[in-house]
Amino acid sequence: MNYKAPLRDMRFLLNEVLDYPAHYASLANGADATPDMIEAILQGAATLCEDVLAPLNLSGDQEGCHFHDGTVTTPAGFKAAYAQFVAGGWQGLSFPTEYGGQGLPMSVNVFKSEMMGCANWSFNMYPGLSVGCINTILRYGSAAQKQQYLPSLVAGVWSGTMCLTEAQCGTDLAQVRTRAEPLPDGSYRITGTKIFISSGEHDLTDNIIHIVLARLPDAPQGTRGISLFIVPKRLLDSEGVSGARNTVVCGAIEHKMGIRGSATAVLNFDGATGYLIGQLNKGLEAMFTFMNTARIGTAIQGIAHAEASFQGALPYARERRSMRALSGKKDADQVADALIWHPDVRRMLLTQKAIAEGGRAMIYSAAQLADKMFNAVTAGDEAQAKMLDSELGFYTPILKGFLTEMGLEAANLGMQVFGGHGYIHEHGMEQIARDARIATLYEGTTGIQALDLLGRKVLLGSRSRCVRDFTATMWQLAKPHLLARGPLGRMARSLAARALQWNVLTTRIMLRARTDRELVGSASVDYLMYSGYVMLAYFWARQASSAAALLANGKGVEEDAFYRAKLQTAEFYFARLLPRADGHHRSALAPTGSVMQVEAAHFAFDY
């Protein structure tokens, strides 16, 4: 399957919907992000992804990673491709120039990461984990730590990981047992085993910088007693060069359902030398810098797999012939009509397209918030940074939870378009579905994202203010079109109704939760999915509004066809996908007893 970067759609969002040129002009670090510079980056990333990374996707899945005596070898071609990635300076796009980066806004890295993830998600995992490592050191590292680690990480010659999970704990980090014992020289002896460590061991870089959660012997119990440490694979000498091997050993790599070209390691820390980053017993707060980066990165995985599956399914639907269309022959000179003439096939293709293009708009909008927050932090404007962090925090669980669920659906639909051929490895469609499956699991399952959204962000964090603020934005978009005829008017009226419904739903849950302690848990996933469908409706209405205005001005035959397709896809979304929100609305308000009344003992297998 060939990958083609969706540059036209990306340009539509950047220049005609979200006005990225004005956004970059408003940023302190946006002066170099001119339209010409952004276009050059998009073109360069597209070439890397189409010509270098995409051809390794199927073969990397077939071969997988190799483990022998503590060492991991990546699939054939990965090392050479990574060398090209480093030579192109791609890792440093959005990092400060003082550490060798190009100093561009954070969103520029999002555009590149989307293309890389769509072309070859397994490969994208290696530099992708480093981004969170870099951000954590930038935010919490000492001046010396920044000088020691960031130049090589930003250049891509070193890579990074995050090491949270242990055999007895995944999400519940209060159970972390890895020990950190202080040493006289100010370093720490780190002992314990971490599992499911993406990019934990590989042959792409000389050194791997692990960000590790551990607990001091006298630390408080629970999450309040966790600290964060930098533990390099190779210790640095007095010149800052990688030297002796630290006592961090890869004990195994996982045999996985998907993303087989990405090494997922078991790491044994046997008295390894580590260095405190941030404050003692405040490690979880610092780790969330890494986690939020990873969660938005995982949301990108949702749209990447939707896009990849759509790109595989569309040409197949145009070429494969089966039966005649219900309304009569469409390809009269052929033995049968192409699949694309059948309404149900179109339903599947349009669902994929709506997920990929709508989700892209959601992520690109969130990336603008991240740009603004970074500038506020850099400028020392704590109040503005806090406000933007809260707004981005509202987006994050919806992006991660909703878009990965939708990306998995889109991947499965791609297989369905192919029929039995979709189940065959050589076509690449089943690989997309296998690769997509992990996205709803790691960096917090959909259920965890839902609890974060409803419990922490909506009810406790803001007392529903975040919902009121976003629905006010929905109303502002809908208001000018409420009395209009045609598709824009229908979408505007639907959007306004959903804005009211979202607020009422939130209030009803908030009131009931006062007397029903289990309600948040029983309603949270339906609430998240409802929120996702409504938020996606807003971004489709926004695209439709821009497309209608551009279509009215007349841009030429090819451009007008693009804008018409935008309007038509938006109509499809409002007519066919947004109504799913009603089912989630009803389920979120269902009595908690429907979930909790069955006694645990009755979940038995002795039938």
How high is the pLDDT of residue 576? Answer: 98
pLDDT of residue 290 exceeding 60: no
Residue-number span of the structural domain to which 511 is assigned: 445-593
Task: Look at the alpha carbons of 299, 303, 304, 309 in this order and tell me if their dihedral is positive or negative.
Answer: positive
Backbone angles phi, psi at 80, to 5 degrees: -65, -40
Residue type, 198: S
Those residues whose C-beta lies under 8 Å from the C-beta of residue 114, and which sit 6 or more positions away, are: 300, 303, 304, 360, 363
pTM of the model: 0.96
Cα dihedral 539/541/543/545 (nearest 10): -150
- Taking residues 454-475, what's their average pLDDT? 93
Lookup result for tokens 């910088």: 209
Higher pLDDT, 295 or 29: 29
How high is the pLDDT of residue 378? Answer: 86
For the ranges 50-64, 112-126, 170-184, 499-513, the lowest mean pLDDT is seen at 170-184
How high is the pLDDT of residue 170? Answer: 81
Could you read off the pLDDT of 343-372 as tens digits, one per residue? 999 999 999 999 999 999 999 999 999 999
Q: How far apart are the first and last CA of the chain?
A: 46
- Separation of alpha carbons 590 and 598, rounded Å: 15
The answer to whether residue 12 is domain-embedded is no
Structural contact between residues 560 and 492, judged by C-beta atoms closer than 8 angstroms: no
Query: How many domains, in total, are found in the chain?
Result: 1
How high is the pLDDT of residue 443? Answer: 86
pLDDT of residue 563 exceeding 80: yes
How high is the pLDDT of residue 394? Answer: 94
Q: Tell me how far CA of residue 536 lies from CA of 468, 476, 529, 570, 577, in angstroms.
A: 16, 16, 10, 10, 10
Could you read off the pLDDT of 370-401 as tens digits, one per residue? 999 989 988 999 899 889 988 999 999 999 99
pLDDT tier, 311 (very low <50, low <70, confident <90, very high otherwise): very high
pLDDT tier, 605 (very low <50, low <70, confident <90, very high otherwise): low
pLDDT of residue 202 exceeding 80: yes
Could you read off the pLDDT of 131-169 as tens digits, one per residue? 999 999 998 999 999 999 999 999 999 999 999 999 998
Instruction: Please say if 443 is a catalytic residue.
Output: yes
pLDDT of residue 95 exceeding 60: yes
The answer to whether residue 569 is domain-embedded is yes
How high is the pLDDT of residue 433? Answer: 98
Backbone angles phi, psi at 191, to 5 degrees: -135, 125
How many C-alpha atoms does 323 have within 13 Å on its Cβ side? 9
- Separation of alpha carbons 569 and 85, rounded Å: 35
- Helix, strand, or coil here: 408? helix
Structural contact between residues 232 and 161, judged by C-beta atoms closer than 8 angstroms: no
pLDDT of residue 17 exceeding 90: yes
Cα 410 → chain centroid? 15
Q: What are the residues facing 73 on neighbouring strands? A: 66
pLDDT of residue 463 exceeding 90: no
Q: Residue 318 is inside which H or E element, if any?
A: helix 283-319
The answer to whether residue 511 is domain-embedded is yes
The answer to whether residue 292 is domain-embedded is no
Could you read off the pLDDT of 264-286 as tens digits, one per residue? 999 999 999 999 999 999 888 77
Structural contact between residues 121 and 301, judged by C-beta atoms closer than 8 angstroms: yes
Lookup result for tokens 């938020």: 535
Structural contact between residues 180 and 188, judged by C-beta atoms closer than 8 angstroms: yes
pLDDT tier, 293 (very low <50, low <70, confident <90, very high otherwise): low
How high is the pLDDT of residue 517? Answer: 87
Q: Ramachandran region of residue 138, left (φ > 0), alpha (ψ -120 to 50) or beta?
A: alpha
SS (H, E, C) 365-406: HHHHHHHHHHHHHHHCCHHHHHHHHHHHHHHHHHHHHHHHHH
The two three-digit tokens of residue 605, written as one number = 């297998």
pLDDT tier, 171 (very low <50, low <70, confident <90, very high otherwise): confident
Higher pLDDT, 220 or 461: 220
Q: Tell me how far CA of residue 189 lies from CA of 31, 178, 381, 508, in angstroms.
A: 45, 10, 37, 51
E strands, 537-594, where? none
Q: Beta 158-163 vs 207-214: how paired, if at all?
A: parallel
Q: Beta 66-68 vs 71-73: how paired, if at all?
A: antiparallel
Write down the catalytic residue from 443, 518, 558, 571.
443
